[in-house]
Amino acid sequence: MQQSETLWSEWLGLAPLGRGLARRLMFLWVRARVLPEEPPISSDVPVVYVFANNALSSRLVVDGVCKRLDLPRPEVSPEGLPSEKRALIFVRRLRGWLRRRAEPVQSPRLARLVERVVADNELDVQVVPVTVFWGRSPAKEKSPLKLLFSESWAPAGRLRKLFIILVHGRHTFVQFSTPVSLREFVTESVRDGTDPELIPRKLARVIRVHMRRIRVAAIGPDLSHRRTLRGRILRSPGVRRAIERHAAREGISTDDAYRKAASYVDEIAA
């Protein structure tokens, strides 16, 4: 498991030099707004960030934001925890090259941190869930192009993610949640009778639920359905006019032109 967790991080030269270069290239285009403007992260306690998944783009954005705000960074060894190469954890892993899927994963790093907190009564770690949103809420988008590449619940493939960054990169939001004291979580879990070996799994589950609620608040529970998104795009005035013009130009029915447009939307959204 340890090997699998680090494989993606090391790919494409994501040692410090490679990560720095990739981050600089991304921020030539991306503009990120931070929520809240001053994240409530203490500089006196080691910090570990929790990501919804291992998406490289989100990690680079958060690393750049933390560098700008002079916060502990996820892509470097956390201060006070020199044995850890990075200050990040993800609770799901993206798999697949064309059609991406997210699978829950147990983080060896989180398990190690829990073990250290259990063994050392003086140690605490701030566990900070962080979420990256590309663009505004889909409910607020009027442009069919921006709506097509808006945030959804389905993991984006690599090509689609590239278009998402190009379309929405100038309106990116990074949301830092209130830090969770790992010391307090471990203490309360042990008091409730939880086996220490099960605490990492319990915390990961709590964070997954928390991050899901954040996404529901941001993009809504229904917009993840492809047919719902397709319907909103095809009903937009600009697209409807284009469908009618195409039907007249090609000498086909509006229904046939609509079905053809729907198939194009499905291909792009896949």
CA distances from 118 to 4, 89, 260 (A): 25, 19, 60
pTM to 2 decimal places: 0.73
Q: How many Å apart are CA 63 and CA 231, to the nearest integer? A: 36
Q: What is the pLDDT of residues 218-243, one digit of tens each?
A: 877 654 455 666 777 787 888 888 88
| Domain residue limits, the chain | 2-221, 230-269
Q: What is the pLDDT of residues 181-207, one digit of tens each?
A: 999 999 999 999 999 899 999 999 999
Tell me the mean pLDDT in the region 249-265: 83
Q: What is the pLDDT of residues 88-110, one digit of tens each?
A: 999 988 777 666 677 888 899 99
